[in-house]
Amino acid sequence: MPYRTSDKMRRKKDAKRTAMMQAAVQVFSEKGYHAATVRDIVQAADVAIGTFYFYFPDKETLFLYLYEETADFLVQAVQQGVSGRAKLTEQIAHGVQSYVNIALYEPTVVFLLLVGGVGAVPSLSAKREQFREAMIRIWQRPLDHALDQGLIPTQNTRRAAEAITGACDEVILNLLQNPRGENEAPAAIKDLSFFILRGLGALGSPAADK
């Protein structure tokens, strides 16, 4: 009869793996990729070093996995914020708000996504490009629709989406590094949304709210 892992054993293994991933996010954020060690991670997770190597062959593999998981989570959340609204003004505002809310709720995770491993993990380049492209597509889709409907002036929606992506990242990083970031978040969401819509030419026209 083949050996089968019990539900209790699977839950225990999942708990250890989750603990290591959560600890790794904190360690990478605090020490940076190069300075962080496997021993730092297992100590923070309170597991044996052999447990780490049972799940991950090395630090780089864990880091790449964390990056991918974080990127997928953020992309899905922002996409929901945008696609759940009909008007361009609301799509921009709620997309920005979703991004900021996640950043404030999971600051170490988002900081890892935007800054962690930059220049330190060569194999991260492809993952980073995939994340950036996914975010750009989130913003470009409503812009293409708005352009087709005549709601914004003729423009390169790809370039506009790239600019929105960069502006969001910059504002998010400043909020995360600001001790008063949580208090300033509502104003930041409003200012950033206004900045984006003004840049798109979506303000000052009755069509903007259609």
> For the segment 186-208, what is each residue's pLDDT rounded down to a tens digit?
999 999 999 999 999 987 544 44
Q: Looking at residue 143, which CATH number applies to its domain?
A: 1.10.357.10
Range of the domain at 197: 66-203
Please say if the pLDDT value at position 2 is more than 70: no
Question: To the nearest whole percent, how much of the chain has pLDDT over 70?
Answer: 88
On whether residue 208 sits in a domain, the answer given is no
Domain count, the chain: 2
Same domain? 50 vs 70: no
**CA dist 132 → 12, 161, 165 (Å):** 35, 11, 8
1 assigned to some structural domain: no
Whether residue 181 is contained in a domain is answered as yes
Whether residues 32 and 78 share a domain: the answer is: no
The reply to whether 95 and 51 lie within a common domain is no
Average pLDDT of the residues in 115-129 = 75
- CB 42 within 8 Å of CB 52: yes
Please report which confidence band the pLDDT of residue 55 belongs to, taking 50, 70 and 90 as the band edges.
very high
Least confident of 34-43, 105-114, 125-134, 164-173: 105-114
User: The tokens of 39 are what?
Assistant: 């021993």
Q: Quote the pLDDT of residue 118.
A: 62
At residue 4, the pLDDT reads 53
- pLDDT tens column, 29-46: 888 888 899 999 999 999
Q: Around Cβ 112, how many Cβ atoms within 10 Å?
A: 21
pLDDT at 8: 59
Question: Is there a single domain that holds both residue 143 and residue 179?
Answer: yes
Does 115 score more than 80 pLDDT? no
